[in-house]
Structure 1
Amino acid sequence: METSKFSFRLLPNKSFPSMESRETRYLLEKWYMKGRMKLVSFFYDQHFQSYEKEAFARDFFASPCVREHFFLVPHGADDSWRPVRSNVARIEVENVACTITSMSFFDRLKTEGVIRESGSIRKCLDEYRDGFQIADELRRVLLVVDSDNYEIFDESDRDEFIFRIFRHFCLGGAVCQYEDDVQPYFETTKNFYHDVVSVAKDPDTKKLSIVSRVFRVECYGDEGDYVFPGNGPHEQNICYLIVDMVKRHVTAWYHDFGQGIM
């Protein structure tokens, strides 16, 4: 049996102002993410290097403190929130790039005509991909690999944490009511990114850089069965660990896509 290197304790006073505003709460409800998304932060006790990410994630989900405070959306008839199952045998941990410091990253959506100068999103003929309704050019950029504008973001762009945040908010939950204007997506992305990612200023160049490390995780059971996040692999079943290695803080962001009206 492997011993744990990392221990965790809750940061009870950690706040996420962007998620607590009335406007954001309204949007998350509209996008069917309210009540299906969790953010919780912990302090960890040992120095962490990125190459230890699997051990870090394993210790995180095995931690009694994490299991006490990081509950998941229920499935089925039992409506009680639940911890991650204890019999996690394997955890897959993916490095996520986190280098972008400006929303100008998304300017190409306007220059390429996906959204108009006013911010309105160009419409297109309805189609469905992987359970998502695609009724505008923005969702075509996010989901349709063979669309005309898909390549305005290359694979390294799409790997960036800020792009993933934007994409998750744009796609929403199982019964998402989509926006006609891009601004709510931009504002929510910007404010959320500011809340969860730590930055530092270079004393020589005065430029800001990201000091957080981000990992996407999936958990599997003893027989290779999918455990977490959500009740099966899906674009919108997500769990990210956002690690500030200076402060030794880790924030878990979890979202469960859902199956319809709760």
Structure 2
Amino acid sequence: MRHLATVAAGFAAAVLLSGCSKGETGTAPAPTAKTEAPATPASESAFEVEAALKNADPARYSAEVRTETYTGSILGVVMSGRMNFNGPALTGRLTLKTSDSVPENQAFSTETILLEDATYTRTLDDGTVGEWQRMGRDSSAAGLADYGAYVRLLLDLGPAARKGTDKVGGAPAYRLSGNVTQDQLRTVDRRLYDRMRATGTKDFACDVWVNDSGRVVRFEQVLEMAGKSARNVVTFQNFGAPVPVSAPE
């Protein structure tokens, strides 16, 4: 079980990292929350979205992160924690836990500390705290794409991808939606690109909501791989100054 939990923690961290090396983030609702109908035509807000991205604050900051992974409509794994952004590499602390829908013999819970040069993970199963296990950071991490790159991919799809303004978390956010192809992903998200090639996945559906500060407030992707549907939802909230992160004692 410990090996399974460690591998799963690493995979979930990869899901998070594959979208956030220089990530624009913001406050977002729970994945099941409904957004309001678009109130602003796409043609009126497209320039504002591009300008907001260009003017996004590059300073380091931290935010609470929540990643939910679904198989079909069933929530399988939740990853949450606080991360530091806009630095040389993502750093922070995360917990990873299976949902109540996962059979007891497959359930697990882990804690992970991400440093610039290493990752530490331990199990938290059945109220028992395991030993920390150290792993090196993937050498390709510095080349991972940010959510802003996904936004630009969708903007490049043209008017059809520009869905107008929704209310997200009580504030306006511009929604972009479209299908991203394997080839388009090559320079944006190499890890996912490699996975798509390995499974023969040609494209996937992607939705991104951007606020007026140029930060992604909600990100969703739906992938069909090897005959199975997977949905990832990443949300951010409670911004603040960078938080200290160190190796466990």
What is the TM-score when the length of structure 2 is the normalising length? 0.31
Larger helix share, 1 or 2: 1
TM-score of the aligned structures, taking structure 1 as reference length: 0.30
- Structure showing greater radius of gyration is 1
